[in-house]
A and B are shown apart, each in its own frame.
Chain A
Amino acid sequence: SQQGEEDPQALSIQEGENATMNCSYKTSINNLQWYRQNSGRGLVHLILIRSNEREKHSGRLRVTLDTSKKSSSLLITASRAADTASYFCATDAGGNNRLAFGKGNQVVVIP
């Protein structure tokens, strides 16, 4: 069932700027995952954050999780043209990777 819902749906920024995307969900989760998809390709995992974690970093990526508000955010700092892609959040309620994906957030980074 669809659960994650990203906001905003589309984002266009200049290279070097930061990009922030939000994701909300409805039910309890075991973990929340962010993926990236380049056009016509498969998804690539970015970060997994567990329900007992509040923040995680990976390179230029920062993910936060607020389980009380059932929301997460993905921040990409100092964006590059190569960051142009669609970004999806996905929730895992049972830890078995039966993920519920949001509709995705299209990010365009203008050189």
Chain B
Amino acid sequence: DGGITQSPKYLFRKEGQNVTLSCEQNLNHDAMYWYRQDPGQGLRLIYYSQIVNDFQKGDIAEGYSVSREKKESFPLTVTSAQKNPTAFYLCAVGSYNSPLHFGNGTRLTVT
């Protein structure tokens, strides 16, 4: 989706290092979401934010942190406390009772 930019597409990190994934949108949606996808699995919600300077934990928030200082940006930090961080991370944006628009994801590999 051209309105949502996730960077980088591939990311490699050593175990024990924090890493931040970027998500930027120009679709002017209030709500932004971070999902994690493991191979052959559905998406699981990590964090979401419905308004600037406010965010809520999803189902698997442990080991992750976020910030929402601007409407356009919702970065996700994968901390060293996340026990199994290797996954495909998807950012999405949306509005109440409307479908989500997804970015093209960041594939994180931690060795």
Contact = CB atoms under 8 A, between A and B. Distances in A.
Judge: A and B partners, yes or no.
Answer: yes
Interface of A: 1-2, 4, 30-31, 33, 35, 40-45, 48, 50, 88, 90, 92, 95-99, 101-104
A50 to B, nearest CB: 8
Contacts of B58: 98
Interface residues of B, number: 31
Contacts of A99: 43, 45, 100
A101 B44 contact: yes
A50 B33 CA distance: 21
Given A41-B105, A104-B42, A30 B97 contact: yes
B64 interface: no
Nearest to A6: B42
Contacts of A35: 100, 102
Contacts of A40: 105, 107
Given A42-B102, A42-B103, A96-B31, A31 B97 contact: yes
Interface of B: 1, 4, 6, 31, 33, 35, 40-45, 48, 50, 58-59, 90, 92, 94-105, 107
Contacts of A48: 98-99
12 contacts: A2-B42, A42-B103, A43-B90, A88-B42, A96-B50, A96-B96, A97-B97, A98-B48, A98-B58, A99-B43, A101-B43, A101-B44
A4 B99 contact: no
Contacts of B105: 40-42
Point out which of A1, A42, A99 has the most chain B C-beta atoms below 10 A from its C-beta: A42
Contact of A97 (B1, B6, B44, B96): B96
Contacts of A31: 97
Given A35-B102, A40-B107, 16 more contacts: A2-B44, A4-B42, A40-B105, A41-B104, A42-B102, A42-B103, A43-B43, A44-B1, A45-B101, A48-B98, A50-B97, A92-B97, A95-B96, A97-B96, A103-B41, A104-B42
